[in-house]
Amino acid sequence: MGVGTVAALEALYGDRYSEFLRVASAIAGDEGRGADAVQDAFARALISLRAFRGDAPLEAWVWRIVVNAARSVRSKEQRASAEMPVPASSDNYNPDESEVRRRIASLPDRQRTAIFLRYFADLDYRTIAVVLGVEVGTVSATLSAAHDALRRNLEEVQR
Amino acid sequence: MTNLDPTLREALNRIYPAPERESDWEDVLARTGRKLGPEVRARRSIAFRRARILALAAVAIGATSLTVLLWPAGTPLTERALAALGDARVLHVITHRPAPSERLVEIASGRIVIPTQEAEIWFDEKGQRARIVTRVDGGVREELLQTRQGWFTRGGLVYTCAWIASHPAEATKAGVSCNENMQNSTSPRSEPELPPTVDASLTAFARGYQNALESGEAQPLGEGSIDGQRVEWLEFRGADGSSQRVALDRGTLRPLRVETSRPNQQGSVARYDIALIETVPSSKADFSLPPRRTPQQSIGKIADEQSIDLARAADVLGQAPLWLGPQTNGLHLSRIEAQRLVTGYGPGADLPSSSTHGIELVYGNISGGPHIRLREATRCELAYAWPCSMPAPREGYLRIDNLPGSGGALVRDGLYVRIVSSLGEKSIINAARALRPAP
């Protein structure tokens, strides 16, 4: 793998850091753990550059590493606390929002991750499919199911 | 594709607010070291070695005195220089050199000052784009953005052949063509835009330096000194055949000076001092469109003139004019005129001509005899050879223009003054010093 890929990786890091951090933080449970996951993921990507075969876009490959790193952080936390981390709100406590938060946390992992990748990183279905290791059609079904579940909840909250 | 739901997006944004943490690439590089096991270490790629070198360099630059200790013994100069440069996508360079066609005179002392011309360059070879900002004495003279979609300056679009080929109708309307018969085709066609260029010498350096270090083509020439500072010289050949000699600071290994010469221009060496050189990710580079300047004057003329006295000159300008007294250098104030100045802005500016008044004071005889003329206006007037695109010299300085007969220009008390003399440059400087408000 050439030097150009290192530069491309650094450029990707610089260009999309805030999106990587946001998705990783959402998955990992807070910004500190998310930031740690992003840093580790890029370090891992740098070391594994030779393994990058170029059969998917570099960005999708990196997203996959970041998502896995964030999931790994979350798993360790879950093992430690035996529950899914729920992100703390920056606003005042809001019981309705708390319900939405719980509903997001209770989504199946793939649905939750797909929602984060779609809403926070604006990834298209093809890229999300590479990140999640599924077919493009599965992404569509996954997002649709997640939307339905969350919309129902939002409607209940807003009623 | 499932659409993004605005209500859900809003809820997600509330629950997961956008983080504010800054990125930290050096930390990523540092973490690569902690993750390597012995079996992986043995298979380090070139890319990884470079990444580690960068990490070391980041530390070294932060603590120059430790540089020598941090570099493994025997690391080649070119590798260290490459690490000092970094390998992000965009090369960012700031060069300084004496402005080639301008001189300033400090009016009080008569000291000649050659202004510094600064070029700030963002160069993204992979993205085929460059942005060059030229400043003289701190003031922006020109900005140029070169992209695959076209070239742009503060004056707007630059008509390149690639743009003309893809916009034949607009090009015909604008009266531009790349064909000798000035005819454009009737249907658009795609033609590659010229690769970004900077000053030819700088282009060769910007393009070649990083590549020459990476490929090992750059050859160390040994130690030297620049203005008492010890340097290491490197040499490489630019893609245009030029010889590029680069002086590196011995501590940071960053270029301090570039000297370029071409084989067919013997003895001609272009020198640039490098005030800054680094590589940055594209997110930190500036490839913004140059801001549009106010419409550029295209025509300036003295439409009519009439003789007046000093008191009336103050009315014309709205303030007391500057003069040299009733006489100077044995030349008497022979004439004062109010002049109506008309400025046109060219067909593209979509602006009507504007008209203002200036005054001219003539000492001596302008019909073949010795004379000094003062032309004064309250703004930059093309009729007085003062285009607004040229920033005014700082107060207390006189700019000597290299155009024959254009004399010197200065700003004082809010007046734009041009001094033209048949008695030579010294008389212009003396006149600038002797200027004072008329009673």
> Residue A114 and residue A134: Cα distance in Å, rounded?
11
> Residue B208 and residue B226: Cα distance in Å, rounded?
22
Which chain B residue's Cα is nearest to A96?
B11
| Contact residues on chain A for B8, CB-CB shorter than 8 A | 119, 147, 150-151, 154
> Residue B117 and residue B100: Cα distance in Å, rounded?
8
Contact across the interface for B16 and A2, Cβ inside 8 Å: no
Express each pLDDT in A30-39 by its tens digit: 888 899 899 9
- The whole-number average pLDDT for the span A129-156 is 82
- Other beta carbons within 10 angstroms of residue B189's beta carbon come to 9
| Contact residues on chain A for B126, CB-CB shorter than 8 A | 4
SS3 A114: helix
The pLDDT of residue B362:
95
- The whole-number average pLDDT for the span A120-129 is 90
- Other beta carbons within 10 angstroms of residue B112's beta carbon come to 12
Contact across the interface for A35 and B45, Cβ inside 8 Å: no
Contact across the interface for B1 and A125, Cβ inside 8 Å: yes
Q: Nearest CA of chain B to the CA of A145: how many Å?
A: 10
Asked if residue A20 lies in contact with residue B18, where contact means CB atoms within 8 angstroms, the answer is no
Express each pLDDT in A46-89 by its tens digit: 777 766 666 678 888 899 889 988 988 877 766 554 444 444 43
Amino acid at position B400, single letter? I
| Banded model confidence at residue B263, pLDDT cuts 50, 70, 90 | low
Q: Are strands B243-249 and B371-377 parallel, antiparallel or unpaired?
A: unpaired
Residues 6+ apart with CB under 8 A from B46: A2, A3
> Residue B100 and residue A152: Cα distance in Å, rounded?
71
- The whole-number average pLDDT for the span B306-327 is 94
Contact across the interface for A13 and B28, Cβ inside 8 Å: yes
Residue ranges in chain A assigned as alpha helix (H): 3-28, 31-47, 58-81, 95-106, 109-121, 125-132, 136-158
Contact across the interface for B29 and A43, Cβ inside 8 Å: yes
Which of B9, B20, B23 would best serve as a mutation to test chain A binding (most A beta carbons within 10 A)?
A: B23
More confident residue, B262 or B61: B262
| Contact residues on chain A for B36, CB-CB shorter than 8 A | 47
Residue B283 pLDDT greater than 70, yes or no: yes
B52-56, B192-196, B389-393: range with lowest mean pLDDT: B52-56
> Residue B188 and residue B202: Cα distance in Å, rounded?
33
Which of B1, B13, B15, B52 would best serve as a mutation to test chain A binding (most A beta carbons within 10 A)?
A: B15
Asked if residue B427 lies in contact with residue B108, where contact means CB atoms within 8 angstroms, the answer is no
Residue B1 pLDDT greater than 60, yes or no: no
Which of A9, A23, A33, A46 would best serve as a mutation to test chain B binding (most B beta carbons within 10 A)?
A: A46
Of B228, B239, B193, B196, the C-alpha closest to B91 is B196
Contact across the interface for B19 and A42, Cβ inside 8 Å: no
Q: Residue written as tokens 């649709």?
A: A144
> Residue B32 and residue B233: Cα distance in Å, rounded?
32
The pLDDT of residue B101:
64
- The whole-number average pLDDT for the span A129-147 is 88
| Banded model confidence at residue B251, pLDDT cuts 50, 70, 90 | confident
> Residue B155 and residue B294: Cα distance in Å, rounded?
8
Which chain B residue's Cα is nearest to A153?
B8
Of B101, B114, B194, the C-alpha closest to B150 is B194
| Mean pLDDT for all residues in chain B | 78
Handedness of CA B190, B196, B197, B203 (dihedral sign): negative
Express each pLDDT in B390-432 by its tens digit: 778 888 999 887 665 668 999 999 999 999 998 888 899 999 9
Of the candidates B1, B4, B28, the beta carbon closest to that of A43 is on B28
Contact across the interface for B4 and A119, Cβ inside 8 Å: yes
What is the distance, to the nearest Å, from the Cα of residue A36 to the centroid of all Cα atoms in its chain?
14
Whole-prediction pTM: 0.50
Asked if residue B111 lies in contact with residue B306, where contact means CB atoms within 8 angstroms, the answer is no
State ipTM. 0.85
How many A×B Cβ pairs under 8 Å? 135
The pLDDT of residue B424:
85
Contact across the interface for B45 and A50, Cβ inside 8 Å: yes
For chain B, how big is the Rg over CA atoms in Å? Answer: 29
Highest mean pLDDT among A78-87, A118-127, A145-154: A118-127
Residues 6+ apart with CB under 8 A from B301: B341, B342, B383
Tokens read off for B357: 């008044």
> Residue A74 and residue A67: Cα distance in Å, rounded?
10
The pLDDT of residue A85:
40
The pLDDT of residue B51:
42
Q: Nearest CA of chain A to the CA of B9: how many Å?
A: 7
A88-92, B229-233, B323-327: range with lowest mean pLDDT: A88-92
| Contact residues on chain B for A90, CB-CB shorter than 8 A | 17
Express each pLDDT in B67-115 by its tens digit: 333 445 556 777 788 888 887 888 899 988 887 667 889 999 999 888 8
- The whole-number average pLDDT for the span B213-225 is 85
Of the candidates A90, A144, A154, the beta carbon closest to that of B7 is on A154
The pLDDT of residue B38:
33
Contact across the interface for B8 and A104, Cβ inside 8 Å: no
Express each pLDDT in A6-27 by its tens digit: 778 888 888 889 899 999 999 9
| Contact residues on chain A for B27, CB-CB shorter than 8 A | 39
Of the candidates B8, B14, B280, the beta carbon closest to that of A151 is on B8
| Banded model confidence at residue B33, pLDDT cuts 50, 70, 90 | low
The pLDDT of residue B164:
73
Residue B181 pLDDT greater than 70, yes or no: no
Contact across the interface for B14 and A91, Cβ inside 8 Å: yes
Give me the residues paired with residue B223 across strands. B232
Of A115, A154, A26, the C-alpha closest to B2 is A115
| Contact residues on chain A for B1, CB-CB shorter than 8 A | 124-125, 140
Contact across the interface for B2 and A25, Cβ inside 8 Å: no
- The whole-number average pLDDT for the span B265-289 is 83
End-to-end CA distance of chain B: 79
Residue A101 pLDDT greater than 50, yes or no: yes
Residue B326 pLDDT greater than 80, yes or no: yes
A121-130, B10-19, B119-128, B194-203: range with lowest mean pLDDT: B194-203
Which chain A residue's Cα is nearest to B41?
A47
The pLDDT of residue A78:
62
The pLDDT of residue B212:
82
* SS3 of chain B: CCCCCHHHHHHHHHHCCCCCCCCCHHHHHHHHHHHCCHHHHCCCCHHHHHHHHHHHHHHHHHCHHHHHHHCCCCCCHHHHHHHHHCCCCEEEEEEEEECCCEEEEECCCCCEECCEEEEEEEEECCCCEEEEEEEECCEEEEEEEEECCEEEECCEEECCHHHHHHCHHHHHHHCCCCCCCCCCCCCCCCCCCCCCCCCHHHHHHHHHHHHHHHHCCCEEEEEEEECCEEEEEEEEECCCCCEEEEEEECCCCCEEEEEEECCCCCCCEEEEEEEEEEEECHHHCCCCCCCCCCCCCCEEEEEEEEECCHHHHHHHHCCCCEECCCEECCEEEEEEEEEEEEEECCHHHCCCCEEEEEEEEEEECCCCCCEEEEEEECCCCHHHCCCCCCCCCCCCEEEEECCCCCCEEEEECCEEEEEEECCCHHHHHHHHHHCEECC
Contact across the interface for A11 and B282, Cβ inside 8 Å: yes
Which chain B residue's Cα is nearest to A3?
B47
Residues 6+ apart with CB under 8 A from B246: B205, B209, B218, B233, B234, B235, B236, B255, B257, B258, B259
Residue B62 pLDDT greater than 60, yes or no: no
Give me the residues paired with residue B415 across strands. B412
B42-46, B122-126, B246-250: range with lowest mean pLDDT: B42-46
Q: Nearest CA of chain A to the CA of B418: how many Å?
A: 50
Residue B49 pLDDT greater than 60, yes or no: no
| Contact residues on chain B for A3, CB-CB shorter than 8 A | 46-47, 50, 87, 214
The pLDDT of residue B412:
94
The pLDDT of residue B339:
95
